[in-house]
Chain A
Amino acid sequence: MPNIFKKKNASEAVVGKWDLSAGDEGFDSEKAQKQEKIKHIVKEVFVYVFLTLCAVLAFLPFYWMIISSLKTEMEFRESVPTFFPHTFQWKNYWMIFHQVTTTTGTSASFGQILVNTLVVGLLSTLLGLVVIIITAYALARMEFKGKNLLFAIMLATMMIPGELFTVSNYITVAKLHMNNSYTVLILPFLVSVYYIYLLRNNFMQIPNSLYQAAKVDGLSDMGYLIKVMIPLTAPTLISITLLRFIGTWNSYIWPRLVNTQSWQMITNWVTGGFVDRVQPDGFSLYGGDYGTTSLDTLKMAAVCMVSLPLLVLFIFCRKYIMRGVSKSGTKG
């Protein structure tokens, strides 16, 4: 028998490490309670200070962006920065809306850019969703020769960085004379293997008995897809829709490569310079004092125009966006 676990008489208290009276002379419960409480409060305060600091740092750039966009350029350049604008220069926004960037004969106004982004965003999201759904459906529910091989090849392409495709695609669209069109912005990105994979797994989780029940109830395959599978996977579909639209909104490289300015997207627009240009009617913010220098306040106004819609979208669709994000996070 192990020597440390000798039988102890019932009357004999266990003497050793755990003799409670050993360390402190008569354990004072009140004192200890007080100490514990103080320790707890100190820890609590520390945690909250740390988190608040992080939250402030996370939010600071947004705050700075908004107030800077409303300052006059003079105030922005003061050597002691102000944390709240003295005067609100709403005309900054007026100026960037009327700004027409010109390079080599092509021009783009904010209106044009916004239309581009919305049209491309909506079309590529909707068409993409259709392609993703029917492909995922076929892969999840239909039987045909070579299905598994096809799926394996599709998954394998996820391993390859998209940049490898870009060079060839750039040449392809140039040869097909697709430059300067919406098609060129939409077509190459309609298929997203990752979303197909995600949706296929979602579809496969739907029990087969539901399909059989639908058959008994006289539903066709298409009817089953539309009336049963799509509603059941709605949360995933909403997440996909949102993330795709955000992706299009943020697209920068491809539009820059294949299209000239008037055909580009909002993110391309924001990287341009914004100057206090004298308008045809003689109006200008600072009387042309800054010449052709790009002004940071105007740039911040443009940055707001790009960032704020995303923030609004986030506030209203937080649940779906976060779910979509954490889903891709646990894909493993």
Chain B
Amino acid sequence: MKISIQHLTKIFPSRTKGGSAVHAVEDMNIEIPSGQLVGLLGPSGCGKSTTLFMLSGLESPSSGKIFFDDQDVTTLAAEKRGIGLVFQNYALYPHMTVEQNIRFPLDNMRIKKEEGNARALDAARLVQIEDLMARKPHELSGGQQQRVAIARALVKMPNVLLLDEPLSNLDARLRLQTREEIKRIQRTTGITTVFVTHDQEEAMSICDTMVVMKLGVVQQIGAPQEIYDDPNNLFVANFLGTPPINIFKGKVQGGKVYIGEEAVASAECDDREVFIGIRPEGFIYDPNGAFTLNLDHVEVMGRDKSVVSTHESSTKPTVRCIIESDVALPADAEQLKFNIKPYKLFLFDAETEERLR
């Protein structure tokens, strides 16, 4: 099922009298091709969950339209949209067994008992919980509850699967496993899937398409690698990547990019004040390099090393460079010189924070 969102806007009225209304989502336009796994990514309060709930039909938009294929579903009730929704806290009914939980949507659809049993079992098998059918939710671990919630969402064979922060309640190890699991389930079923997360690593690792949002406004849509390599603005560049991108204040003058007094790269735009973003992996150690950093310390991480240093133009307290572990660094040096990989350096307008290309 293809999803298209057109001019979607959600305004929450102010809670206090005379306060201003909250624009949770503003003029959102997205086309989601059928069978894709899409991640809505952004910091908390950016409207990503609101978008998801509008897709599910639990929230109604203030304006704009939502289409599933060619059907306008904007005003369609949640239960008629044919969606599966996995809640952040799973919302498993505590008084029902796993089996009853999974069967619940089918019972509401008045599906025959034998068929319902077969489908519930199939869904349970898909998420590998068929041995836990007789248990109650409180007898399950977090990861197992998560699987039950996914099975309950899948059992009615939805057109669209929606997941609200599916991994946020799991511990680190489980999170890795579960995200692969979600990817696998999505591949197996081919259901168009939209999930919400604030964790960029999570989104990058499994998404086909990623939608980065900030304060209700979509910042960039694209494949994870595309967005990482070609961010639209400072926010997107800053939000993606661990360790995060290094940002310096600088200027463009005469076709050259200056950080402090040093020209670190060439540029094709007019002279102006800019923010310069350099990915940590964009540094090449070179004793005769163009860019000088004040070394603080070096963290050895096995595969590579992380050079932590400072620079007076940096907007963050430290500058982090990732370099390969077999590059020898001089001992006791106070300053290190680097060259910058040009495709790892992005220029942003100092005022609009938009990317300068």
Chains A and B share a contact (CB less than 8 Å) = yes
CB under 8 Å from chain A, chain B span 32-52: 33-36
A29/B72 in contact, CB under 8 A: yes
In the complex, A8 has a CB within 8 A of chain B:
yes
A16/B157 in contact, CB under 8 A: yes
Known contacts A9-B190, A17-B156, A17-B157; is-contact A29 B76 (Cβ 8 Å): yes
In the complex, A74 has a CB within 8 A of chain B:
no
CB under 8 Å from chain B, chain A span 19-50: 20-21, 27, 29, 32-33, 36
Q: How far is the CA of A12 from the CA of B192 in the complex (A)?
A: 11
A18/B159 in contact, CB under 8 A: yes
B76/A14 in contact, CB under 8 A: no
Known contacts A2-B122, A27-B76, A29-B74; is-contact A8 B190 (Cβ 8 Å): yes
Q: How far is the CA of A3 from the CA of B188 in the complex (A)?
A: 11
Q: Which residues of B contact A14 (CB under 8 A)?
A: 1, 157-159, 191
> Can you list 26 A-B contacts with CB-CB less than 8 angstroms, sorted by A residue number?
A1-B188, A4-B122, A4-B157, A5-B123, A5-B154, A5-B157, A5-B188, A7-B187, A7-B189, A7-B190, A8-B190, A9-B35, A10-B36, A11-B34, A13-B34, A13-B159, A14-B159, A14-B191, A17-B82, A18-B157, A20-B80, A20-B82, A29-B72, A29-B74, A32-B75, A33-B75
In the complex, B269 has a CB within 8 A of chain A:
no
In the complex, B119 has a CB within 8 A of chain A:
yes
Q: Which residues of A contact B33 (CB under 8 A)?
A: 10
Known contacts A17-B156, A18-B159; is-contact A3 B74 (Cβ 8 Å): no
Q: Which residues of B contact A17 (CB under 8 A)?
A: 82, 109, 156-157
Q: In the complex, what's the smallest C-beta–C-beta distance from B41 to chain A, in angstroms? A: 22
A3/B122 in contact, CB under 8 A: yes
CB under 8 Å from chain A, chain B span 52-109: 68-69, 71-77, 80-82, 109
Q: In the complex, what's the smallest C-beta–C-beta distance from A38 to chain B, in angstroms? A: 14
**Contact residues of A with B, CB < 8 Å?**
1-5, 7-14, 16-18, 20-21, 27, 29, 32-33, 36
Of the residues B35, B71, B126, contact of A2 by C-beta under 8 Å = B126
CB under 8 Å from chain A, chain B span 168-199: 187-191
CB under 8 Å from chain A, chain B span 134-164: 154, 156-159
Q: Which residues of A contact B69 (CB under 8 A)?
A: 13, 20
The 3 A-B pairs of least Cβ separation, nearest first, read: A18-B82, A10-B35, A2-B122
In the complex, B125 has a CB within 8 A of chain A:
yes
Q: How far is the CA of A18 from the CA of B155 in the complex (A)?
A: 12
Q: Which residues of B contact A3 (CB under 8 A)?
A: 122
Listed residue (B33, B74, B76) with the most chain A CB atoms within 10 angstroms of its CB = B76
Listed residue (A9, A12, A13, A33) with the most chain B CB atoms within 10 angstroms of its CB = A13
Q: Which residues of B contact A21 (CB under 8 A)?
A: 71
Q: In the complex, what's the smallest C-beta–C-beta distance from B299 to chain A, in angstroms? A: 40
Q: How far is the CA of A17 from the CA of B72 in the complex (A)?
A: 18
Interface size class of B (residues with CB under 8 A): 20 to 34
Of the residues A5, A16, A27, contact of B122 by C-beta under 8 Å = A5
Judged by DSSP, the binding face of B is: loop
Judged by DSSP, the binding face of A is: loop
Q: Which residues of A contact B76 (CB under 8 A)?
A: 20, 27, 29, 32
Nearest B residue to A30 via CB reads B75
Q: Which residues of A contact B71 (CB under 8 A)?
A: 20-21, 27
Of the residues B80, B119, B158, contact of A4 by C-beta under 8 Å = B119
Q: In the complex, what's the smallest C-beta–C-beta distance from B6 to chain A, in angstroms? A: 14
Nearest A residue to B73 via CB reads A20
Q: How far is the CA of A313 from the CA of B95 in the complex (A)?
A: 41
Of the residues B34, B68, B126, contact of A5 by C-beta under 8 Å = B126
Q: How far is the CA of A21 from the CA of B81 in the complex (A)?
A: 11
Q: In the complex, what's the smallest C-beta–C-beta distance from B51 to chain A, in angstroms? A: 20
Q: Which residues of A contact B157 (CB under 8 A)?
A: 4-5, 14, 16-18
Nearest B residue to A11 via CB reads B34
A13/B1 in contact, CB under 8 A: yes
Q: How far is the CA of A27 from the CA of B157 in the complex (A)?
A: 21
Q: Which residues of B contact A16 (CB under 8 A)?
A: 157
Q: How far is the CA of A10 from the CA of B69 in the complex (A)?
A: 12
Q: How far is the CA of A254 from the CA of B335 in the complex (A)?
A: 93
Q: Which residues of A contact B77 (CB under 8 A)?
A: 36
Q: How far is the CA of A18 from the CA of B68 in the complex (A)?
A: 11
Listed residue (B33, B74, B154, B190) with the most chain A CB atoms within 10 angstroms of its CB = B190
Binary A-proximity of B122-135 (CB < 8 A = 1, otherwise 0): 11011000000000
Q: Which residues of B contact A7 (CB under 8 A)?
A: 187-190
Q: In the complex, what's the smallest C-beta–C-beta distance from B161 to chain A, in angstroms? A: 11
Q: How far is the CA of A217 from the CA of B107 in the complex (A)?
A: 64
Q: How far is the CA of A14 from the CA of B76 in the complex (A)?
A: 18
B187/A20 in contact, CB under 8 A: no
CB under 8 Å from chain A, chain B span 277-321: none
